[in-house]
Amino acid sequence: MISTELAVALREAGLVWRPRSGDRFQLNEPEFEADVFTVSEMTIEPREYPTGRILAFNGTTEWALDSVALEDALWLPHESQLREMLGGSFRVLRRLPDTYEVEIVLRRAEEPEEVLVFEFPEPADAYALALLEVLRRIL
């Protein structure tokens, strides 16, 4: 799971979350700081209203919550989701003795390819760093 800091940075860089079953998130509330929730049709489901999108808690485990606005939730993308968002720029994930490296290739019209490498002790965070760089360059 990616760090909260990288999840915040991705959101601030323009990453848009469209909740689906299995997605993990945290709430921007001090009393839930250490809690990680999972979207599931059985307990937490995204609902669309004219006023916006919410995450509805269906009362089985989260008795203190009925719903939260999507903007009050922080998406924690899975490693596979981050890799998928990198798309064709992703080249390889390498396991090193103490860290992981994610290599991506960026192409711009009439410029040579640019190979970038991002290293972190957790593979999901290495993917997140790479995606953050891609978002910074395109948005």
**What pLDDT is attached to residue 100?**
97
Strand order across the 24-27 sheet: 37-38, 24-27, 73-76
Q: How many helices (H) and strands (E) does the chain have?
A: 3, 9
Query: pTM score, two decimals?
Result: 0.82
pLDDT block averages, 10 residues each, the chain of length 139: 93 93 88 83 78 75 65 94 96 97 91 94 97 91
**What pLDDT is attached to residue 21?**
87
**What pLDDT is attached to residue 108?**
81
